[in-house]
Amino acid sequence: MNGLHGIIFSYEKEPGLRELVEHRMPASIPFGGRYRVIDFMLSNMQNAGITDVGVILHGNYQSLLDHLGNGKTWDMSRKYGGLRMLPPFADNRTYQSTEFRGKMEALAGVRSYLREIRQDYVVLADSDLIINIDLDAVYEKHIETGADITCVCTANFKQTENATFFQLDRDDRVIKTLRNPAKPEGYHCLEIYIMSKELLLKLVDECAAEQKYTFRTDVLHGMGDQLNIRGYVFDGLAAQIRTIKEYYDRSMDMLDPKVYRELSTARRPIRAKEDDETPTYIAPESKCVNSLVADGCIIEGTVENSVIFPGVKIAKGAVVKNSILFKNASVEENAAVSYVIADKNVQIRRGSHLTGHENYPMAISKNAVI
């Protein structure tokens, strides 16, 4: 799709993710046994034929840089265009604050990049969305309706905190925008927008001149009566990762074959950076039930209803249930964990017993020894 350029926002730190974002941004949190969260949106764009993508960064983004590399995994390693990292705070003369107040301020910080975009249309998306969507179809709908802005939304979403809901007419025109309603009403905005490059630059300049910072408040709500804003209703699986509980629940959903197949279909595969691990060893006397187990693991104990990332070691007599173990975590002999999220390189010592709860999973920081 040579007419569409991708912009991914990856600069917010979600306080609800606590231990999981101590050493990384939300976009680079491991997910589903082999992915990072940003892999989903990047793959959506790659599957739609988008070859040029800019990722707006801010915060502790070293982990994300290491993961994305030159973009080769998503066929975006190119001499011209391809995958570009955009740290908008590079110019301290312009940006003295510690964080952006909204997407429009972030876009103003990379306006020189926006000006050089070669494509006529731009898709804006957040990096913390777990979704497999046909962006080709969204783009075609945008062109067909003649909309100024097309917003992807869904009826299958109940979160209201820091959320935007749309009311649509029979032609999918947005007739009302609701910010943080007391209860869900209408269609939940998934923070995926398509518009022309020309309109995007105009909006960035207008908001900068009037000291307006946010896309949802200052554009969708504040300019809704001036723009032809349409909704594109997505009826598939979509989930945002904003809290430990949301991360845990969406990870456990991946154990459902139907959910796993929907998120990674042969038609629109989700691509992830290769780890080049050896095959996993599952000992004859071990037990492994209803779990996702990546390559490079050694399983000698019991694993049930869990997501296991590459390089994890579960020793003889150890029991792991309803848990998520990140890369190179280890559970030693006769230890037991339940409802636990263990970050990279966590060591759970011999005989330890760690138990969280389905509604309050225990999260353990990277490199911790317990």
pLDDT digits (tens, 9 = 90+) for 292-341: 999 999 999 999 999 999 999 999 999 999 999 999 999 999 999 999 99
Distance between CA atoms of 330 and 337, rounded to whole angstroms? Answer: 11
| Gap between the Cα atoms of 17 and 363, Å rounded | 9
What residue has token string 């723009």?
227
User: Of 148-162, 199-213, 271-285, which one has max mean pLDDT?
Assistant: 199-213
Residue type, 232: Y
Give the residue, 211 or 229, on which the prediction is more confident: 229
pLDDT band per the 50, 70, 90 thresholds, residue 158: low
* Domains in the chain, CATH or no CATH each: 4-263 (3.90.550.10), 281-364 (2.160.10.10)
How does DSSP classify residue 332? -
Beta bridge partner(s), residue 289: 304
The DSSP bridge partners found for residue 153 are 189, 233
Residue 50, pLDDT score: 95
End-to-end distance of the chain based on CA atoms, in angstroms?
Answer: 50
User: In Å, how far from its chain's centre is CA 11?
Assistant: 12
| pLDDT value for 96 | 45
Number of helices and strands in the chain (H, E): 9, 28
Helix (H, G, I), strand (E, B) or coil at 201: helix
pLDDT for the residue 98: 55
Cα–Cα dist 181/162, whole Å: 9
Between CA 53 and CA 240 the distance in angstroms is 21
* Closest of 205, 198, 203, 199 to residue 219, by C-alpha: 203
303 Cβ partners below 8 Å, 6+ apart? Answer: 286, 287, 288, 289, 291, 293, 314, 320, 321
Residue 209: strand, helix, or coil: helix
Label residue 100 by pLDDT band (50, 70, 90): low
User: Average pLDDT of 233-255?
Assistant: 92
Angle at which helix 38-47 crosses helix 135-145, to 10 degrees, equals 60
Q: Which of the four pLDDT bands, split at 50, 70 and 90, describes residue 99? A: low
DSSP reduced 3-state for 353: strand
**CA–CA dist 303, 324 (Å, integer):** 11
Quick check: 44 and 73 in contact, CB under 8 A?
A: no
Task: Give pLDDT tens digits for 261-287.
Answer: 999 888 899 998 877 788 999 999 999
Computed on alpha carbons and rounded to an integer, the radius of gyration of the chain in Å comes to 21
User: What is the pLDDT of the chain when averaged over all its residues?
Assistant: 90
